[in-house]
Amino acid sequence: MNTHLHPGTALITGASSGIGAVYADRLARSGYDLILVARRADRLRALAQDITSRTGRSVEAVSADLLDAVDLAKVEMLLKRDASITMLVNNAGIGATGPLLESHIGDMERMIALNVSVPTRLAYAAAPAFVGRGRGTIINIASVVALAPELLNGVYGGSKAYLLALTQSLQHELADKGVRVQAVLPGATATDFWQLSGRPVESLPTEIVMRAEDMVDAALSGLAQGETVTIPALPDAADWQAMENARKALMPNLSRATPAARYAIDLADAA
Given the rule CB under 6 A, which residues bind ligand NAP? 14-20, 38-40, 65-67, 91-95, 114, 141, 143, 186, 188-189, 191-193, 196
Write the CB contacts of 122 (distance below 8 Å, at least 6 apart in sequence).
13, 75, 76, 79, 88, 90
Q: Judged by CB, which is closer to ligand NAP: 49, or 245?
A: 49
Query: Is residue 156 flagged as an active site residue?
Result: yes
Find the angle CA(15)-CA(16)-CA(19) to the nearest 5 degrees: 55
Q: Judged by CB, which is closer to ligand NAP: 131, or 233?
A: 233
Find the angle CA(80)-CA(85)-CA(88) to the nearest 5 degrees: 85
Cα(44)–Cα(16) distance, integer angstroms: 5
Select from 190, 193, 213, 211 the least CA-distant residue to 202. Answer: 190
Q: How far is the CB of 91 from ligand NAP (least distance, A)?
A: 5
Q: How far is the CB of 37 from ligand NAP (least distance, A)?
A: 6
Q: Judged by CB, which is closer to ligand NAP: 200, or 259?
A: 200
Q: How far is the CB of 163 from ligand NAP (least distance, A)?
A: 8
CA 147 to chain CA centroid, nearest Å: 14
Q: How far is the CB of 75 from ligand NAP (least distance, A)?
A: 9
- Cβ(34)–Cβ(51) below 8 Å: yes
Catalytic residue among 23, 32, 156, 162: 156
β-pair partners for 38: 63
Phi, psi for residue 62 in degrees, rounded to 5: -115, 105
Q: Judged by CB, which is closer to ligand NAP: 95, or 158?
A: 95
Instruction: Indicate which residues carry an active-site annotation.
Output: 156
